[in-house]
Homo-oligomer: A and B are copies of this chain.
Amino acid sequence: MSKEIGITVKKDENFSEWYTQVVLKGQLADYAPVKGLIVLRPYGYSIWESLKSSLDEKLKSLGHENGFLPVLIPQSLLSKESDHFAGFTPEVFWVTHSGDTEVGDRLALRPTSETLAYSMYSKWIKSWRDLPLKINFWNTALRAEIKATKPFLRTSEFLWQEGHTVHSSKEEAEEEVFTILETYRKIVEEELAIPVIKGKKSEKEKFVGAVYTTTIEAIMPDGKALQMGTSHFLGQNFSKPFDVKFLDKQNVETFAWQTSWGVSWRLIGALIMVHGDDKGLVLPPRVAPIQVVIVPIYYSPQDRESVLGKSNVIKEILQKKNLRVHIDSRDEFTPGYKFNNWEMKGVPVRIEIGPKDLAKGKMVVVRRDNQKKMDLSFENTETGILDILGEVQLGLFERAKQFLTEKIIEVTDFEKFKSEIEKGGFLHSPWCGDTKCEEKIKELTGADIRVIPFDGKRSNAPCLICKNLSKTDAIFARGY
């Protein structure tokens, strides 16, 4: 592969440029003509499809159903919950005309759909028999980004899902918040092989309009934090302005309790950053669009026929195990070119078969994650490949988990905080609970409270800033 085709910078030398090259050269995505927007190419979209199908299945098994909401929300509706509206106002795209005609009430492109969904829910819900109502929407959200576009991480339109549920009791709604957070953790840790920390957001960082926001937070190789998914307890903050109420079993009219939650294609950004290496993408098998690529090696027409024949047999064996297998039989490229190409695209396992292998009754198997090469006899195809894929999935998670563990640093002293934050990482520090101290830390170091972990307080040291009694420990970091 020529220099221009492969990745030309090292991940730890120029992380940002490396990321862009992996996205563009790996044919995951490309910049759209409008600043801030990207297009997903089939390879990138198929990672989203994998992820979507895993999560969709889990949500359905928990009793959620899917629905569809239009992208246009009238300004009057969006502004009904005032905190919520104020939070999104600066980044809303506004439609003012259809054809040459001015629309009356300006129309917002959905920054999120709480307001629209709940205006509908208030019509649909009459009694306790209609609850719980648990609907999920696979769509996009639009929030104008003014900073430089970063595919999957900073774009003005992004693919996501937004779930919106309604419950007859506070307890049931809160249980939903945590069930969803745990579902997100599972998807991210088990499918994407990225370890996360579960916890709450601070008042300052919570979703505008929520009572509280729970989050799963991951660390990236540069030591910065990435929010991977959030699940919000809305209490009755929306049910009151939107009149979402029901007749309970005693025939008493009651405002409902609500939740909302979402994950976006930002997870693909995390996947790229956490697992990728100098050669490009490294995909965990569970979400890889192609899990096994077979590269047949031949130089004569006779060899071509026998090697391709065997490749097809192997492909069929593996497909019967529901594996996603591709044979790269393009005659116009050399095996070397193909190796590099599929490595750049992160395919977890490569099988090479040449005439000599054929004679010996075996293939060569190469793991993408650690580049290890091994022989595998034909009779062990099925179990051999399944085992290796399992090892890759686990290996990626464990490597990332070790990195996270090393990067969580307990800091109880603000001077140490200031020097540690420069190195990147999750600083586990005591906090009094006051937004003013949180803002001071942000101002002086650029670090936010990313998550107040559920596993609680580790020290009795005082707040870093005001020196008052700490109420909790929080994880501070600079973030994406």
Residues of B within 8 A of A77 (CB): 33
Chain A interface residues toward B at CB < 8 A: 30, 32-34, 37-42, 44-46, 48-49, 65-74, 77, 89-101, 107, 109, 116, 119-120, 123-124, 129, 135, 140, 142, 144, 156-157, 159, 330, 332
Residues of B within 8 A of A66 (CB): 42, 45-46, 49
A33 near B157: Cβ-Cβ < 8 Å? no
B97 near A157: Cβ-Cβ < 8 Å? no
Indicate whether A72 sits within 8 Å of B116 (C-beta atoms), given known contacts A42-B65, A46-B66, A67-B42: no
A157 near B70: Cβ-Cβ < 8 Å? yes
B135 near A70: Cβ-Cβ < 8 Å? no
Residues of B within 8 A of A91 (CB): 98-99
B45 near A67: Cβ-Cβ < 8 Å? yes
Indicate whether A68 sits within 8 Å of B40 (C-beta atoms), given known contacts A97-B94, A116-B32: yes
A120 near B70: Cβ-Cβ < 8 Å? no
In the complex, 6 of the A-B residue pairs with CB atoms within 8 angstroms, ordered by the A residue number, are A30-B124, A32-B70, A45-B68, A70-B140, A72-B142, A94-B95
A34 near B74: Cβ-Cβ < 8 Å? yes
B144 near A38: Cβ-Cβ < 8 Å? no
Report the bound CA distance from A94 to B332 in whole Å: 46
A74 near B39: Cβ-Cβ < 8 Å? no
Query: Interface SS of chain A: helix, strand, loop or mixed?
Result: mixed
Report the bound CA distance from A44 to B69 in whole Å: 12
Residues of B within 8 A of A69 (CB): 32, 39
Residues of B within 8 A of A67 (CB): 39-42, 45
Most chain B CB within 10 A, of A44, A70, A92, A129, is at A70
- Besides the known contacts A42-B65, A42-B135, 8 further A-B residue pairs in the complex with CB atoms under 8 A apart: A40-B67, A41-B124, A48-B68, A71-B71, A71-B157, A96-B96, A98-B156, A129-B330
Counting every copy of the chain, the complex holds: 2
Most chain B CB within 10 A, of A42, A49, A129, A156, is at A42
Among candidates B40, B48, B123, B144, residue contacting A98 with C-beta atoms closer than 8 Å: B144
Residues of B within 8 A of A140 (CB): 70-71
Report the bound CA distance from A48 to B67 in whole Å: 10
Residues of B within 8 A of A156 (CB): 70, 72, 98
B70 near A39: Cβ-Cβ < 8 Å? yes
Residues of B within 8 A of A74 (CB): 33-34
Most chain B CB within 10 A, of A39, A48, A120, is at A39
| Nearest CB in chain B to that of A89: its residue | B99
Q: Which 9 A-B pairs have the closest CB atoms?
A: A42-B65, A98-B144, A40-B68, A37-B70, A90-B99, A94-B97, A70-B157, A96-B96, A45-B67
> How many whole Å from A109's CB to the nearest CB in chain B?
7
Report the bound CA distance from A204 to B34 in whole Å: 33
B97 near A93: Cβ-Cβ < 8 Å? yes
B94 near A96: Cβ-Cβ < 8 Å? yes
Residues of B within 8 A of A120 (CB): 30, 32, 39
> How many whole Å from A343's CB to the nearest CB in chain B?
19
Residues of B within 8 A of A49 (CB): 66
> How many whole Å from A66's CB to the nearest CB in chain B?
5
Report the bound CA distance from A33 to B103 in whole Å: 14
Residues of B within 8 A of A107 (CB): 34, 93
Report the bound CA distance from A393 to B75 in whole Å: 46
Report the bound CA distance from A302 to B462 in whole Å: 63
Residues of B within 8 A of A330 (CB): 129
Report the bound CA distance from A90 to B38 in whole Å: 27
> How many whole Å from A52's CB to the nearest CB in chain B?
11
Report the bound CA distance from A140 to B70 in whole Å: 9
Indicate whether A119 sits within 8 Å of B68 (C-beta atoms), given known contacts A95-B94, A109-B95: no
Report the bound CA distance from A116 to B124 in whole Å: 38
Report the bound CA distance from A272 to B74 in whole Å: 30
Residues of B within 8 A of A73 (CB): 33-34
